[in-house]
Amino acid sequence: MKRKFTLLAALLAVLTGAASACGGDDDDVTPAPTAASAAASPSPSAQPTPSLADVIARNPQYFIYIVAAGDTLATIANTFDGQAGPPPATFTDALKALNQLSGEPQEGQPLAIPLRQSGTLALFPDASIEAALGIGGAGEALVLLQPSLALRDTYQNRIVLHTVVLADANPGGEGRGYLMQYYLADRPPFKGGSADPQARVVERLFTIGAGALAKAVPSTPAETVHRFTRNGVEYALQTGPGALHPAATIATQLQTAAER
């Protein structure tokens, strides 16, 4: 039960603006600020002080992962290294240093994760996330949906992964599922294989919930939400301020890695 309440608290934080650090003046943001600079970073009035992960993830080269029950730095590294096999030996230490951790992270804690690993051009670590959830194989009903190339083109290649919550089928959980938020950057964050260090995350495009976490997507405002079923699995998509199209339209432009 404790695990369920912790997960619900994390989801509430995500959906009610834990990523509010995206707003405001971001010109002084660096990829890996200190804890002191995170606390001193400007934030809108009446908003809580952003976490270190929030501040780091203003840079679209990083996204936020909400730590789940049973997670360790090693398992988190394995989930987000972009490969189905073991993570690079240095990735665990890199995550620890980036997030200024003295030990293992706590359940519900937001962590900043590099979007791309050295030597790769991937904009989404789909292979390792699928492996962590136990999906992606032939006959699997739950699939990992992400923006298609056509959808990315519609938004001038400014779509970036911003927040990830995962649920597995371990005891005490509610089954497999995921919740992911995609944001828009103020410019294409990657060009010709190189990152633009000046790019900043500016506003939410959409939230997609699947499987056990589809119900975590709010049902209001109704005009921003589209719920659908694929292979018997429930999905829900809610548009944000950056969306130019209805939720149902965006949902049709999501696809799996295998469909690309």
Q: What is the DSSP string of 172-202?
A: TS--SEEEEEEEEESS-SEETTEE-TT--EE
Q: Which residue has the higher pLDDT, 194 or 29?
A: 194
Rounded CA-CA distance 193/17 in Å is: 31
Tell me the per-residue pLDDT of 34-89, one tens digit each, with 9 for 90 and over.
Answer: 333 333 444 445 567 899 999 999 999 999 999 999 999 999 998 998 776 788 77
Share of the chain above pLDDT 70, in %: 76
Rounded CA-CA distance 177/174 in Å is: 9
Which residue type does 139 have? G
Which residue type does 177 have? G
Rounded CA-CA distance 241/206 in Å is: 8
Domain boundaries, the chain: 2-259
Tell me the per-residue pLDDT of 81-113, one tens digit each, with 9 for 90 and over.
Answer: 877 678 877 899 999 999 999 999 999 999 999
Share of the chain above pLDDT 90, in %: 57
Tell me the per-residue pLDDT of 146-180, one tens digit each, with 9 for 90 and over.
Answer: 999 999 999 999 999 999 999 976 655 568 999 99
- pLDDT of 188: 94
- pLDDT of 156: 95
Tell me, what DSSP letter sits at residue 128?
A: H
What phi and psi, each to the nearest 5 degrees, are found at residue 233?
A: -105, 140
What phi and psi, each to the nearest 5 degrees, are found at residue 254?
A: -105, 145
Name the pTM for this structure: 0.83
With cut-offs at 50, 70 and 90, classify the pLDDT of residue 26: very low
H-helix segments, the chain: 2-15, 35-40, 52-56, 73-80, 91-98, 126-133, 149-154, 247-251
